[in-house]
Amino acid sequence: MAYPIAPGGLAAILAHPDDESFGCAGALAVAHDAGATTRLLVVTRGEAGSADGSSDPATGDQREAELICAARAIGLDEVSLLDGYPDGGVADQPFERLVDEITAWMAERRPAAVITFGPHGVTGHPDHIAVGNATRWAVERLADRGIAPNAVYVISPIFDPSGNRYDLSGEEQAATHRIPITKVAARKAEALGCHASQTDASEELAALKAAIESGEPIHEGYSRVRPLVPSPHPEFDTALL
């Protein structure tokens, strides 16, 4: 998907195809509907996403196609994939190179705000952790040049409709923003449905559909880590841009 000329907007920088649908599809869809440019950078092709965890280029092809399907459901203006980062092995690659590539991607697009992973990567996956760390290093490099995003958020899944409770870091537990996504929840569900190769996506989709059918409000949670939100923060903010 070719990226639009307009800079700014909301960007997500994540590790695998499907991370966007689990983590931030709702916030991206809300931003898109409000007229913001929405972009996604994914570091791996997800080629180790088979049931036995073995790496297969055909799986990578399938998951890349699933990613494009999900991007269309969400309403993303651009999807980018990095080359040379194996699924499950991002942390084994030169960290400086990853920071360089993320820095260059953001410098070209100048997003106003960025979503990424926190210190525990939600699930503890080493790829998530490496990508989140590299993204925050990249933001600091851009700050030295005076072109950093206005805000950086980490995914804080404390409103997960599946009821999952992860071993989150302090940052990921301390959501500062609760984004109402009820109006776009069906698109998040459609995006999750695109990732048909992934069993956990199917499980999350079932939970989200049940939440939609219940009629209760649905939210995504985020913690703003740059600039830090002063503590105490007694009320949730409801917008990322």
For 73-114, what is each residue's pLDDT tens digit?
999 999 999 999 999 999 999 999 999 999 999 999 999 999
The band of 26, judged by pLDDT with boundaries at 50, 70 and 90, is very high
**pLDDT over threshold 50, residue 58:** yes
Answer yes or no: is 106 within a domain: yes
Answer yes or no: is 4 within a domain: no
Percent of the chain with pLDDT over 90: 88
Cα 34 to Cα 24, 177, 183, 239, distances in angstroms: 16, 17, 12, 11
Q: Is 68 left (phi over 0), alpha (psi -120 to 50) or beta?
A: alpha
Answer yes or no: is 160 within a domain: yes
Nearest to 61 by CA among 50, 72, 52: 50
Query: Which of the pair, 204 or 2, is modelled with greater confidence?
Result: 204
Predicted pLDDT at 166 = 84
Answer yes or no: is 236 within a domain: no
Domain that holds residue 44: 10-226
126: Cβ contacts below 8 Å, ≥ 6 apart: 88, 90, 91
The count of residues in the chain is 241
Answer yes or no: is 159 within a domain: yes
The band of 7, judged by pLDDT with boundaries at 50, 70 and 90, is confident
Q: Which residue type occupies 144?
A: D
The band of 5, judged by pLDDT with boundaries at 50, 70 and 90, is low
**pLDDT over threshold 60, residue 4:** no
What is the number of structural domains in the chain? 1
When mean pLDDT is compared across 18-22, 195-199, 228-232, 235-239, the lowest value belongs to 228-232
Answer yes or no: is 238 within a domain: no
Mean pLDDT score of the chain:
94
Answer yes or no: is 90 within a domain: yes
Answer yes or no: is 231 within a domain: no
CATH number where 104 lies: 3.40.50.10320
Nearest to 59 by CA among 80, 45, 69: 45
Largest Cα–Cα distance in the chain? 49
